[in-house]
Structure 1
Amino acid sequence: MRKSLIAAVMPLAVLCSHAVGGNLSASVKPVLMGDNARLPKIAIITTGGTIAQKKDETGAAVPAVSGVALISAVPDLLTKANVEIYSLCNEDSSRIKPEVWLRLAKLVDKLVKRKDISGVIVTHGTDTMAEAAFFVDACTSTKKPVVFVGAMRDASDMSPDGPENIMNAMVQAVSPDAKGWGVTVTLNQFVNSAYTVRKTNTNNVETFNSGESGYLGYISTGKVIKYNRPMQDICIGLPEKLEQRVELFMSYAGCDGKAIRRAVDSGVKGLVIEAVGSGNVQENVYKAIKYAKSKGVVVVVTTCVPDGPMIPAYGGPGGGATMAKEGIILSRYLRARKARLLLMLALSNKMPEDQIAKLFQH
């Protein structure tokens, strides 16, 4: 019966994978699998990535596996839950855009509010998975598990990691022990908070970790083992549309700040500056930041250093302590890419600058 159902809905999955708007489906309709009334129901949203790719004739991995086919490759899922599959898109995550994440966040928010849905799994490419998970986490508030999962090896690899990762995500999604974690990234058995997770290796299956914050938990022998509680819980709500004129620049030795000034003159609404150390920038970058502030641009300064809170300690032109005294927002924990997304969401929600500043102190 399951095979006939899959065959019947395959055209829908293909349609979703090649729909308008950069492979973004115009209308996402669920495909249902499993009808065991004693099992919970889990929604699975597929967006593409390595987990849904195979090597072409040149040996390069390309999108090749529909959402339904991806989930059907893990038949044991249906021993854990009935599933609703939503094929949102089939896109390499290095090319995905924030408007796709907004649509994803709206879908997740809608699903977690349903009483019959116990949790949500999102399959996504690993290149931008940490950003995507953080984006959704910042938009939605729920105690139900929302698990981002992907793969470092494509589906045609000799030993693909995708199926096991999906199965572990399902174990987490149906477990009472996983409630209250917010949005997580779960690969290679380890569970990471969306707030702290980062990709650390270009090709190793154990690529995601949370640095000094540590893992939230571990999936082993069909069980969730809890280590930690999430470090932060930031939810600022879903905007109707995104203010995307938020740019990211770094301060480096000899940086003249001219690119920042050009961005300001072009009408940018927000800027994130990746500083060094505890929030220190080149003097010309500091002057460019002050220029941006004078034009009404909201500026957030973060650091390139992976771990540790950014506590301003240095004075002088471009010192973190100097900028803090002048009211420039310093991001205590969030690093550049996630800081940009949080600023984008805050501006999209029309938050005043003093409230935005408070967001970055957590």
Structure 2
Amino acid sequence: MNKKYLSKTMAALMLCTSFASFANADKPTVKIYATGGTIAGSSESNMDTTDYKAGKIGVDLLISAVPELKDFAHVIGEQIANTDSNNINQNILLKLSKAINLQLADAKTSGVVVTHGTDTLEETAFFLDLTVKSDKPVVIVGAMRPATAISADGGMNLLEAVRLASDDDAKHRGAMVVLNDRIGSAFYTTKTNSTMLDTFKATEQGYLGAFLSGEPHFYYEPTKPVDKPYFDISHVKQLPKVKILYSYQDQDPALLHAAIKDGAKGIVIAGTGNGSLSDVMLEAVKETMDKGIPVVRSTRTGNGFVTPKQEGIGSGVYNPQKAKVLLSLALAHGDNLKTIRNYFEN
């Protein structure tokens, strides 16, 4: 090859690289932590929205599939896991939270995005809301349709999540959930429908904002949920085992006793109505509490406040799955029964 031509080509490439670096320097940096889920799912049929395989697409392909991301941020990615969200465990949660805390401590990072399966997305989002100490945005995003489906929602959801994570107005709002053009507080948002796109809601508390043509618009100034705790998990290697039991007519305490025998350090019960239980279960709860094992009484209704209890601990605003997350963090923190009660019933 002509040396003069090669020299000009190399100079042009260096100029392009320098220009790209300069352009990226002017844009906020957002890191995406990928864990798998439907947003990374695929199927042989583009009509399939229920029987696909979750966690089949890597973070690099997710990023490259939405080239518009680079218009708003310098995006980097890390694959924390690539699995169905029902396989997310405490090891992944602890690794993820620690990584995010370190990343957000970097002055060059504007915010982070976590891609996640929707089935347990609210639990991871809530866990991060209680364990990430930063004013910068943490955005958890997923999809209800796999990447291979007609009208797949993952691409737009990811674009909106990155835009939110790079937006100065998103600071001081805690962790947020983004799907279906909605911005929700991770503290309150829950999955309310098994298959429909508009599944993530906070029925009582509402949304923080919404997207219009991919641009975030907030309804309120930054605010913080009342009595939201923070837990430092930087040195936590394992979370204590907490079990969730479901309440029903003619329930007996056999599963409660079995959970304790299996090593549970705390129990959450999805009770009926306002955390109601049968007389025989109330007696078992009292005995369990007397042994120093906290029992939190939530509700299976999917919504509402569970008031303070004499037998056990009323869950307050926390549904069973979020009560489990909070209780496990409190136990890992070494809190006593009185302190734990205050987290829920305050």
Structure 1 position 173 matched with structure 2 position 161: no
CA distance in 2, matches of 1:265, 1:176: 49
Compute the displacement of 1:278 (Å): 1.8
- 1:143-154 map, 5 Å: 143-154=135-146
Structure 1 position 137 matched with structure 2 position 129: yes
Alpha-carbon deviations, 1:321-353, whole Å to 9, x = none?
x42xxxx32111101001011111111121222
Retained in 1: the 8 A contact 2:303–2:319? no
Match of 1:344 in 2: 328
CA distance in 2, matches of 1:54, 1:72: 16
Match of 2:14 in 1: none
Match of 2:152 in 1: 160
- 1:1-362 map, 5 Å: 36-56=24-44, 60-62=51-53, 63-228=55-220, 229-232=223-226, 233-238=228-233, 239-312=235-308, 320=309, 322-323=310-311, 328-361=312-345
CA distance in 2, matches of 1:36, 1:245: 44
**Could you tell me which amino acid in structure 2 is paired with residue 278 of structure 1?**
N
CA distance in 1, matches of 2:23, 2:192: 40
CA distance in 2, matches of 1:230, 1:171: 21
Compute the displacement of 1:56 (Å): 4.3
Retained in 2: the 8 A contact 1:264–1:295? no
**Could you tell me which amino acid in structure 2 is paired with residue 343 of structure 1?**
L
Distance 1:34 1:263, change over 3 A: farther
> For 2:133, what is the secondary structure of its paired residue?
coil
CA distance in 2, matches of 1:231, 1:349: 21
CA distance in 1, matches of 2:23, 2:294: 51
> For 2:109, what is the secondary structure of its paired residue?
coil
CA distance in 1, matches of 2:330, 2:114: 24
Structure 1: gaps (5+ residues): 1-32, 313-319
Alpha-carbon deviations, 1:170-207, whole Å to 9, x = none?
12111121111100110011011111111111221111
> For 2:302, what is the secondary structure of its paired residue?
coil
Aligned residues: 318
Retained in 1: the 8 A contact 2:90–2:239? no
Retained in 2: the 8 A contact 1:279–1:301? yes
Q: TM-score, normalised by structure 1?
A: 0.83
Q: How large is the Cα RMSD of the aligned pairs?
A: 1.9
% same residue = 35
CA distance in 2, matches of 1:137, 1:40: 22
Distance 1:337 1:254, change over 3 A: same
| Range that drifts further, 200-209 or 185-194 | 200-209
| Range that drifts further, 233-242 or 275-284 | 233-242
Distance 1:343 1:82, change over 3 A: same
Alpha-carbon deviations, 1:278-300, whole Å to 9, x = none?
22211111121122123321211
Alpha-carbon deviations, 1:245-298, whole Å to 9, x = none?
211112211001111012223332111112122222111111211221233212
Retained in 2: the 8 A contact 1:49–1:124? yes
Alpha-carbon deviations, 1:22-75, whole Å to 9, x = none?
xxxxxxxxxxx9962111111111110011111148964123211100111010
Work out which of the two has the higher radius of gyration on C-alpha atoms and give 1 or 2: 2
**Could you tell me which amino acid in structure 2 is paired with residue 249 of structure 1?**
L
Retained in 2: the 8 A contact 1:343–1:356? yes
**Could you tell me which amino acid in structure 2 is paired with residue 295 of structure 1?**
K
